[in-house]
Amino acid sequence: MRKIDQPEFTAAEVFSTCISKVRNKDLKKRFQAVIPYITSAEEEYRKLATESKLYTFSDELCSNTNVTLEEMKAVYTQRMANSGGPGYETYNALKRGTINRTCPICGQRKVSTLDHYLPKTSYPSVVVTPINLIPACSDCNKIKLDDDPQTSEEETLHPYFDDLGSDRFLLAEIIKDNPPVVNFYIHPPVEWDKVLTEKVKNHFDSFKLNLLYSIHAIDEIVGQAEYWKQLNTKDLKDQLALQAESRRKAHPNSWQTAFYEGASQDDWFCSEGYKKFIE
């Protein structure tokens, strides 16, 4: 759940590059005729994305022009995402648009593909539009396939448009179970509006981030437990609080920030609870 910078390429530039090696004269002519539609679709997309209203985006490209959905999808799959295609350089440049190749959707796994925020099966006019192409890990990309929002609240976060700033919204708690559980949850600041709050919660649930973060947190506990055993409870609490502060400065809503903060505040976890994860 991380904001990333918007790409500098325009949709018309990328589309023109992708169709630059089309040999069939009829197809090339038909593709060139859709460029103005692609530019206006990009403008409409930008406006709706800013208002969290992309679920209302209506795509009439194939009804208003002489290209088919299959031809448009192939511009992406064969001429952009394919290593032999003229758009492949742009495809790779977009994939590199995150910090340390981290997927902005989950904030954990590494980028391996581009995800169409509005899917290419239904939205031909934005099939190669850079602001619709999110660098993503393959797991987030696959989960996204089922997504069909009908309201702003049902949308997931858009990494090019949704800026959550430095507000803390991801927290974690230790649940005394057998075995114990690290539970992550969304606790938005009171000043957030309802749409943003619901959108973040929906994003967190849709991409199954609690499960992802819990698994990583348990790995962390197992890896650190022998070291923690050398510390008394107070020193361990202090160490975990220092870790939380360091992690918070790196990223306020990483699972590590939430985990270390939650763990440092839990007396049971710091005295004996962490040992239950390795028994």
The correct pick among 38, 94, 106, 200 for binding Zn ion (CB under 5 A) is 106
In this complex, which beta carbon is closest to Zn ion, that of residue 105 or of residue 157?
105
The string of DSSP letters for 113-150 reads: EEEESS-TTT-GGGSS-GGGEEEE-HHHHHHGGG---S
Smallest separation (angstroms) from Zn ion to the CB of 139 = 6
Write down the residue that tokens 């992708």 correspond to.
Answer: 18
* Stretch of 9-17, 47-55, 99-107, 212-220 lying at the interface with Zn ion (CB under 5 A): 99-107
Residue 137, interface with Zn ion (CB under 5 A)?
A: yes
**CA pair distance 79, 73, nearest whole angstrom:** 10
Helix intervals (H) in 58-103: 61-64, 69-79, 88-95
Q: Per the structure block, which two tokens stand in for 138?
A: 């393959």
In this complex, which beta carbon is closest to Zn ion, that of residue 47 or of residue 110?
110
In this complex, which beta carbon is closest to Zn ion, that of residue 39 or of residue 138?
138
Residue 101, interface with Zn ion (CB under 5 A)?
A: no
Smallest separation (angstroms) from Zn ion to the CB of 105 = 4
Residue 108's DSSP bridge partners are none
Q: Contacts with Zn ion in 190-219 (CB under 5 A)? A: none
The correct pick among 11, 61, 103, 212 for binding Zn ion (CB under 5 A) is 103
In this complex, which beta carbon is closest to Zn ion, that of residue 103 or of residue 236?
103
Residue 1, interface with Zn ion (CB under 5 A)?
A: no
The correct pick among 19, 80, 105, 126 for binding Zn ion (CB under 5 A) is 105
Answer for the pair 126, 75: CB distance below 8 angstroms, yes or no: no
Cα torsion 232, 233, 234, 237 to 10°: value is 120
Smallest separation (angstroms) from Zn ion to the CB of 62 = 31
| Helix axes 25-33 and 35-50, enclosed angle (nearest 10) | 40
Residue 172, interface with Zn ion (CB under 5 A)?
A: no
Which residues contribute to the site for Zn ion (CB under 5 A)?
103, 105-106, 109, 137, 140
